[in-house]
Amino acid sequence: MAHSQLKEVAAGLATGRLAPFLGPDLLALEGPSILPDSPAALALAINGKIAVPGRIRSNLWSTAQWIESNKHRLSLVRILQDLFGAAPAPTRLHRWLAGLSLPLIVDVWYDTVMADALNAQGAAFIQWQGIRRSGQTYEEPWGKAYDASGLEIPGLPANGTTVLYKPHGAVRPAANFLISDSDYVEVLTEIDIQTPIPETVIERRSGLGFVFLGCRFYDQMQRTFAHQIIKRSAGPHYAVLAGELSKNEERFLEQERITRLDLPLSEAVDLMISTL
């Protein structure tokens, strides 16, 4: 069943009816990742730079908040720039997606692999990154848009342009990071009424379903953002998730009406790519 459904998923991506929703697990698709590839791995890596109290050490958002509060925001940003400084080669999935001229790609991690793949393909795209509200004026948007060269740009993308939506920011081009508890305070207050989500994403998702690849839903933050981003989209939704799920993940899939494809990520990717 999962194999036949993946053919439908591949066709949906190829025709622009489905949008990929990419998570950090993709970094390990073709072998051990040189970048932190999960919230837990990133929390551990940050602790390797500055030790935080044991009670919060496994929580990424609290770890980041402790460093921001007790050291400095600049210290946190520098650590993240260092941890995500390398630029691993795009995987076969990233390269395949970059060639599909997709209307929307959601990428919820801090790396630049998807943007690098789009650039290598010569694709027409803009990148929209979430930004922290602290230090911003209330007239400023909840995010910033960049062209393929990394230049900040105003306005909405032209028709035929892929929107790469990075709701938590990314290490490049401007080291925008939503990561600490304080970063999320206003975002989570407003996200239920959709204010932090850019209009171009709201418009484009209305005719799309989503395919979750390399995503897990252990944490409430991850589930909240996924729910709000796919809210009022057309569906259907799929998630490639192999092995045992947590109760929270099972509940989330049921609530969001996401069809689970119980296959290893690498196998699922190969099936999708070989279908077309």
Q: What is the pLDDT of residues 9-37, one digit of tens each?
A: 999 999 999 999 999 999 999 999 999 99
pLDDT band, residue 139 (cuts 50/70/90): low
Among 78, 105, 268, 102, CA closest to 201 = 105
Sign (positive or negative) of CA dihedral 134, 135, 141, 145: negative
d(CA 197, CA 53): 33
From residue 28, how far is each of 24, 201, 258 by CA, in Å? 8, 27, 23
Question: Within 10 A of 252 (CB to CB), how many other CB atoms are there?
Answer: 20
Please check the confidence at residue 137 and state whether its pLDDT lies above 60. Answer: no
Please check the confidence at residue 136 and state whether its pLDDT lies above 90. Answer: no
- pLDDT at position 154 is 86
User: What one-character-per-residue DSSP string does 68-108 give?
Assistant: HHHT-HHHHHHHHHHHT---PPPPHHHHHHHTS--SEEEE-
Mean pLDDT of 48-60: 93
Domains belonging to the chain, first-starting first, are 2-35+84-275 (3.40.50), 36-83 (no CATH)
Please check the confidence at residue 142 and state whether its pLDDT lies above 80. Answer: yes
SS3 62: helix
Among 89, 78, 97, CA closest to 33 = 89
